[in-house]
Structure 1
Amino acid sequence: MTARLPPVYAAAVRRSVRVTLAAAAGFYLFLYGFDSPVAATYALFAAVAMAGLSHIPGTGRQRAATLVPVVPACWVLITIGTFLSVRTWSAVLGMLVVGFTLAFMAVGGPRPAGAAPGLQLMYILPSFPPYVPESLGERLLGATVGLALLILAEAFVLPDRARTVPYRELAARAADSAGRCADALGSAPYTLGDTALRAAREFGGGLRSSRVPEAERPAGPSVRARGLAHTGLAARTLLGRLTSLPPLSGDPSAGRAGPEVLLAVRDASLETASRLRGRENAVAARSRLRKARQALASEPGPDAAPAALRRQAAVLEVADAALAMSAAAEIAVRGRAASAAAPGRFWYARMRAPRLWWRRLSGHAGQRSVFFQNAVRIALALAAARTIAGLDTLPHGFWMLLATLTLTRTTARQTRSTVRAALTGTLVGALVVAALLALVGTDTTVYAAALPPLMLIAFTLGPVKGIGWAQAMFTMVVALVFAQLAPATWQLAEFRLLDVVAGSAVGAVFGLLAWPRGAHDELRRAVATMLRSAAETVVATTAQLAAGGARAPVVTAPGHRSLQHALIMAESAYAQYRGEPKEPAAPEDARDWQAALMSGHHTLWGADRLLVPPETAVAPPLDREPAEAVTRIGDRVAAGMLLVSARLDPSGDTPGRPVALGTRDFADFSAEPPGAPRPYYAAAEWLESLMTDVERIAGAHK
């Protein structure tokens, strides 16, 4: 049946059937089978909370796997809510702490973020009087049965037909494409055809988070998730380096190891793809690539032509990216048992899960993190709503908190439009409910018969039609539920409307007071901070190269940690910004924020490649002219980054003003000092790519 519906409706129908089966089965089992209204209430709301209110990404079976560890968390939240409901102040304090903690867990990725609203409801539901701790057993039993029924329904009822491609497979396809490109570049005629170029760009772009379904994004803090994300970044970098590789020079002084390195890159890429697909093998290809790279790096070439040296430097960068991809893929597959971990680039590979979680949480524990801002906003709003509900003793006060939870958005503008649609929908639903209750009275048989089909319609139309429809339909659903739990009159609709108005008002106030523009300003500020940190890394890296390269025990480039943190902040702000409505005709909408984030990655990876190669060796200081040239170019590229940063920062004097700059305005990459050694050309290649990134951010490249 669902196959003939449009895809969006078919998916909504499948999910609606699952949640309706779980919620209705648990509700009727306890209410009419065991005469336990408390257990019936918790069975129904547990299923509705974790399937209707939560937005856990993935297929039904993926959501079922996510829900299994959620069950103990629900026990804890229900228990805490039950015992803190004895006093309004204790319930409010608990709401503040629990609300912040659950919202802040979004730093763990899409699945914790999606489950958080439902878990919030598991605390909200028992945190209202009457204070009846003796009913805790019924509450826990009802919630457990409701969640168990939901897990079974998600896993076995109407399984999803459309399956997304796992990120590991996307990375494997990119590695395959890199292998084909390296094979073409390492074999005659040493060029890439148009088909190979298009495929490389497509597979590289397919690894962007904006093109990967939420359920497949490696966004968690675990070793394997970080390794998989690292694999995707390395694959994109490798494909980009391969498609922009300078042509092979005919100068015999360039050496003959370049093609050998590219063929070793091919083998390592194909081995990586095989490993990601579960076909484990030895690391022979990676070992051969290390040896080929080392041979190319140690070749004499003081008399080689500049074009040959540029090609050699570019091939070494390709090899480094392939080695990083291979090592990261092993970590993604084997976790802490991987043998490829290095103390710098793969700093996370030997850490245990608690420490990695702590690093993720502490890294976002500040007002510049959008995760922190959202957690503070929702915690304060819920605490305020609980205070008002407790002091005024609103009937069905938890509806007020539910409205606050579901209607508060990350921007004041979005909250305002959401509240308007929600109030309209609630008013329509309340009028229908009032008429129904007035006509039917206390005949619970009618309500019992009407509830399941109404739930099917509500959970189908709500996600598709929007918040107005969702509120209208949910108002009718909860009215039919409570009309079966206790005798109800038309005033139940009045209470529902009053609670939603009060809850939406609280959400609107805190949406206006707490970071009202959401990620709009934070994205500009975060990217500006990232560019300043990148400029510092560029200056420090070029200065260290001029002085003689890496010095043991250096394991990361200067400024690696601060730039990495700034990049994480910018990426999280960008992820939220993409989901927010934009201001009309905002100039930021046309800005290439993706290019800005990639410039941070290019800075980080390039600096590490130059100073911390796979086989770290102490290089002699550059001669005076090459040292001055690389330092001068690095300073000018950093100046370009700082100029763009100043224009982006919303706290600056002239934020948002267009930046007009070009490569020739800052750095002359064509003027090469005589007798420049290999490290100079490697640095020049890196700095030129960074200048291209800066120009793209500034709008010079359309």
Structure 2
Amino acid sequence: MGGTGGVPRVRLPAAYRAAARRSARVTVAAGAGFYLFLYGFGSAEAAIYALFAAVSLAGLSHIPGTGRQRAAVVARLLPVSLVLITVGTYLSVQTWTATTGMLVIGFALAFSAVGGPRPAGAAPGLQLMYILPSFPPYDPGSLGSRLAGAAVGIVFLVLAERFLLPDPPTVPYRQLAARAADCARRCAEELTEPPYAITDRTLQEAQAASTALRSSQVPEAERPAGPGVRDRGLTHTGLATRTLLARLTAPPQPNPGPAESGLGPAVLRAVRDTALETADRLRGRAPDAGDAHAELLRARTAMAAGPDAGASPAALRRHAAMLELADAALAMSTAAAIAVRGRAGAAPAAPGRFWYAQKRAPQLWWRRMAGHASARSVCFQNAVRISMALAAARVIAGVDTLPHGFWVLLATLTLTRTTVRQTRSTVRVALTGTLIGALIVAGLFTLVGTNIAVYAAVLPPLMLFAFTLGPVKGVGWAQALFTLVVALAFAQLAPATWQLAEFRLLAVLTGSAIGAVFGLLAWPRGAQDELRRSMAVLLRGAAENVVATTAQLAAGGVRAPVTAAPGHRSLMHSLVMAEAAYAQFQSEPRGLAAGHPGQDPQGSTGPHEPAGQDSPQDWQATLMAAHHTLWGADRLLVPPERIVAPPLELGPTAAVSRLGDRVAGRMLLVSARLDPSGDTPQDPVPLRDPDLDDFEVEPPGAPRVYYAAVSWLDALMTDLERITGEATTASPGP
């Protein structure tokens, strides 16, 4: 605190400041449209659509990002909103057509969450665009007024988001990746100069840069989660950069003999230059003269041709580690080029690892949607749950002709959660808040009566207050304040009595009951069981891939770039499902008291919850184990230089197969431990057995491909230790 004249200056917490900025934008946009049409043009129909269009896309929706980013998203949603209002108007005349439309459109909008945080955040507001015209008056003749009101409300919202009280800027993911690439450059540079070791300061910076790229540390709006080429390339850039940092900061291998003296430093210098080139590209700068990526590829190819016959085991181990380092840097460079230039930057991309690079946007969207068209996808589960609940609410509201039936669907939309526990606790607090708000409304209407001027004067400051406190204080406060807002808005459209508060309470009770029923019937545990199941399936697929890869290596075969090894495609699909389940799991609160202040950042205005407490299980390590399995198999079976390795001798063949089987067996044990449907006890799984561990036992005469395979398998064992909590040291790894 500080101030002048002895008066202390109190600074509001960040949550209140952010909520106040958003509240001001919603209030200005919604209020301007509402008063313009109601008192300027005398159109109650257009006024209510202007009000709810702004509230739905800024209050009900949770579009992540800064004001500038949200304004761009809302502007693109304007034609979609007008189409939904048009369809809803014409389908509303019959209950069965309105319900069918609700089922289909509700599913489609909810399923659009597969496109990333912004479509997911906008979906609830777009649902309201269809819900709003689905109730009396059933008057297609008023469609023009409805569209005009909604269009003006959305345009006002775009202007408010763009120019009013801008949010603090966030750090783009490309900038975070560029910083990590800079750290990789410094690490490689220090390894090429005496004393050939990374300083503690650089190591700490590398750990911080790697952690900053984790999705849980990145603002939601900056996460590259979309299905397009650039988003996929940026995601791949982050993963490859974190892998490169992990390889650079791993404990160094013993120094090789004179035969290797020039190859290791040459690769490290090429890695340094490639990291610098990548950082410049991500920052939008033109790389310096030369092609560091091509130089690194040449250095990697030269190193893959060595070492000389008779090289020591220490040299072979270092040789394998340097090849992994080069591959990680090449992947980082290629992915960054795709992220910045799109399909134009995909020329050097390998077809397997960068399969998406030459695909067009419709193909990538179709692949994303097809991958989630399964009852095991949490996106599919959520879409089914909310669409069925909304359709049921529409039937009940239409058949029983409930007064203000629109509020029934609004309550169903805003109070249905992804788990029955969340829904139950949310409904209890919401009903309490609504009851309090209804009592205040009844008292206000009794005192003020039909004095519309009072309601018109009170509504704007009330909206500002409601949309500031509601998101921060929780769902109970939000429901109470929102009840006051809608009551004062409708009181200006037609004479209102205390019974309006009664209708509001009845609607919330009906809508919340419907949400609770479908929350109980449709996947009541949300992502919790699905996460464990999908992670178990993921590790089983990884185990299959490990066995297939080591068997193919032992046979000396190297597959063509476009040919998938057994289990490769299914492992990629399992990885998509597991990542979606993990994303939802992070949004579901665990161990928090219902109605606790700040528990629901959207309050009554959206079905979003804050990130829950960290799980003791390291799910991110499980995801990275799958990524490392895929990347390692590609690196071993499709090396950049396309050199077909000769078959291994009998001793190394047996060793590689034995190690692969052992790692796969440990993966299956961890998988059984995670699977919620299995009977395996949840006891710790011993991963390394000193009496059976072959990682330090080198068969005589083992070639370099043996050491490359062992290096990969050992890294997978480290991943498994991180999953089960057996790792004893922190790592900046992915």
Scaled to the shorter chain, the TM-score interval is over 0.9
- Which range moved further: 649-658 or 380-389? 649-658
Secondary structure of the structure 2 residue equivalent to 1:130:
coil
Query: Is contact 2:350–2:561 with CA below 8 Å preserved after alignment?
Result: no
Structure 1 residue aligned with 2:181, among 162, 175, 178?
175
Counterpart for residue 208 of structure 1: 214
Q: Distance in 2 between matches of 1:204 and 1:613?
A: 26
Q: Distance in 2 between matches of 1:15 and 1:60?
A: 9
Q: Distance in 1 between matches of 2:673 and 2:259?
A: 46
Counterpart for residue 31 of structure 1: 38
Structure 1 residue aligned with 2:88, among 63, 81, 84?
81
Query: Is contact 1:663–1:692 with CA below 8 Å preserved after alignment?
Result: no
Q: Distance in 2 between matches of 1:5 and 1:492?
A: 35
Counterpart for residue 482 of structure 2: 474
Shift of 1:571: 1.3
Return closer, same or farther for 1:58/1:588 CA change in 2, 3 Å cut-off.
closer
Q: Distance in 1 between matches of 2:189 and 2:614?
A: 41
Q: Distance in 1 between matches of 2:655 and 2:268?
A: 29
Name the amino acid aligned to 1:134: G
Counterpart for residue 41 of structure 1: 48
Q: Distance in 2 between matches of 1:246 and 1:676?
A: 21
Counterpart for residue 534 of structure 1: 542
Structure 1 residue aligned with 2:707, among 647, 668, 681?
681
Name the amino acid aligned to 1:84: L
Name the amino acid aligned to 1:520: Q
Q: Distance in 2 between matches of 1:440 and 1:447?
A: 9
Q: Distance in 2 between matches of 1:3 and 1:543?
A: 67
Q: Distance in 2 between matches of 1:688 and 1:694?
A: 10
Structure 1 residue aligned with 2:571, among 540, 553, 563?
563
Structure 1 residue aligned with 2:159, among 152, 155, 164?
152
Structure 1 residue aligned with 2:73, among 59, 66, 85?
66
Return closer, same or farther for 1:168/1:180 CA change in 2, 3 Å cut-off.
same
Shift of 1:475: 0.1
Secondary structure of the structure 2 residue equivalent to 1:664:
coil
Q: Distance in 2 between matches of 1:667 and 1:118?
A: 57
Q: Is 1:189 aligned with 2:195?
A: yes
Structure 2 residue aligned with 1:511, among 514, 519, 522?
519
* Superimposed CA distance per residue, residues 29-59 of structure 1 (whole angstroms, 9 cap, x where no aligned partner): 0001101111001000000000010000111
Return closer, same or farther for 1:190/1:401 CA change in 2, 3 Å cut-off.
same
Shift of 1:131: 1.8
Counterpart for residue 383 of structure 2: 375
Structure 1 residue aligned with 2:403, among 395, 418, 433?
395
Secondary structure of the structure 2 residue equivalent to 1:614:
coil
Query: Is contact 2:545–2:568 with CA below 8 Å preserved after alignment?
Result: yes
Counterpart for residue 429 of structure 2: 421
Structure 1 residue aligned with 2:622, among 567, 583, 596?
596
Q: Which runs of 5+ in 1 are unaligned?
A: none
Shift of 1:667: 3.6
State the TM-score, normalizing by the size of structure 2.
0.93
Q: Distance in 1 between matches of 2:363 and 2:254?
A: 47
- Which range moved further: 8-17 or 476-485? 8-17
Query: Is contact 1:519–1:576 with CA below 8 Å preserved after alignment?
Result: yes
Counterpart for residue 306 of structure 1: 313
State the TM-score, normalizing by the size of structure 1.
0.97
Query: Is contact 1:167–1:216 with CA below 8 Å preserved after alignment?
Result: yes
Q: Is 1:646 aligned with 2:653?
A: no
Q: Is 1:363 aligned with 2:389?
A: no
Counterpart for residue 384 of structure 1: 392
Q: Aligned runs of 1:132-531 on 2, under 5 Å?
A: 132-160=139-167, 162-244=168-250, 246-281=252-287, 284-338=291-345, 339-531=347-539
Shift of 1:68: 1.1
Shift of 1:698: 2.5
Query: Is contact 2:54–2:157 with CA below 8 Å preserved after alignment?
Result: yes
Name the amino acid aligned to 2:98: A
Shift of 1:283: 6.1
Query: Is contact 1:662–1:695 with CA below 8 Å preserved after alignment?
Result: no
Name the amino acid aligned to 2:667: M
Query: Is contact 1:649–1:655 with CA below 8 Å preserved after alignment?
Result: no
* Superimposed CA distance per residue, residues 454-486 of structure 1 (whole angstroms, 9 cap, x where no aligned partner): 000000001110111100000000000100011
Secondary structure of the structure 1 residue equivalent to 2:509:
helix
Q: Distance in 1 between matches of 2:614 and 2:50?
A: 46
Counterpart for residue 116 of structure 1: 123
Shift of 1:556: 4.9
- Which range moved further: 338-347 or 515-524? 338-347
* Superimposed CA distance per residue, residues 347-373 of structure 1 (whole angstroms, 9 cap, x where no aligned partner): 111111111100000000101111111
Counterpart for residue 698 of structure 1: 724
Counterpart for residue 607 of structure 2: none
Name the amino acid aligned to 1:195: R
Q: Distance in 2 between matches of 1:553 and 1:240?
A: 26
Return closer, same or farther for 1:391/1:571 CA change in 2, 3 Å cut-off.
same
Query: Is contact 1:640–1:666 with CA below 8 Å preserved after alignment?
Result: no
Name the amino acid aligned to 1:593: W
Shift of 1:254: 3.3
Counterpart for residue 627 of structure 1: 653
Q: Distance in 2 between matches of 1:700 and 1:248?
A: 25
Query: Is contact 2:307–2:316 with CA below 8 Å preserved after alignment?
Result: no
Counterpart for residue 615 of structure 1: 641
Secondary structure of the structure 1 residue equivalent to 2:713:
helix
Return closer, same or farther for 1:652/1:90 CA change in 2, 3 Å cut-off.
same
Return closer, same or farther for 1:654/1:332 CA change in 2, 3 Å cut-off.
same
Query: Is contact 2:33–2:51 with CA below 8 Å preserved after alignment?
Result: yes
Q: Distance in 2 between matches of 1:590 and 1:627?
A: 38
Secondary structure of the structure 2 residue equivalent to 1:4:
coil
Q: Number of residues paired by the alignment?
A: 701
Q: Distance in 2 between matches of 1:84 and 1:569?
A: 35
Q: Distance in 2 between matches of 1:564 and 1:268?
A: 28
Q: Distance in 1 between matches of 2:109 and 2:271?
A: 44
Query: Is contact 1:190–1:248 with CA below 8 Å preserved after alignment?
Result: no
Name the amino acid aligned to 2:590: K
Name the amino acid aligned to 1:364: H
Query: Is contact 1:174–1:235 with CA below 8 Å preserved after alignment?
Result: yes
Secondary structure of the structure 1 residue equivalent to 2:492:
helix
Secondary structure of the structure 2 residue equivalent to 1:485:
coil
- Which range moved further: 542-551 or 354-363? 542-551
Secondary structure of the structure 1 residue equivalent to 2:615:
helix
Return closer, same or farther for 1:88/1:657 CA change in 2, 3 Å cut-off.
farther
Q: Which runs of 5+ in 2 are unaligned?
A: 4-8, 594-611, 729-734
Q: Distance in 2 between matches of 1:596 and 1:496?
A: 47
Identity between Structure 1 and Structure 2 (%): 70
Name the amino acid aligned to 2:188: A
Shift of 1:320: 0.5
Query: Is contact 2:296–2:326 with CA below 8 Å preserved after alignment?
Result: yes
Secondary structure of the structure 2 residue equivalent to 1:163:
coil
Structure 1 residue aligned with 2:558, among 550, 553, 559?
550
Query: Is contact 2:389–2:515 with CA below 8 Å preserved after alignment?
Result: yes
Q: Is 1:13 aligned with 2:20?
A: yes
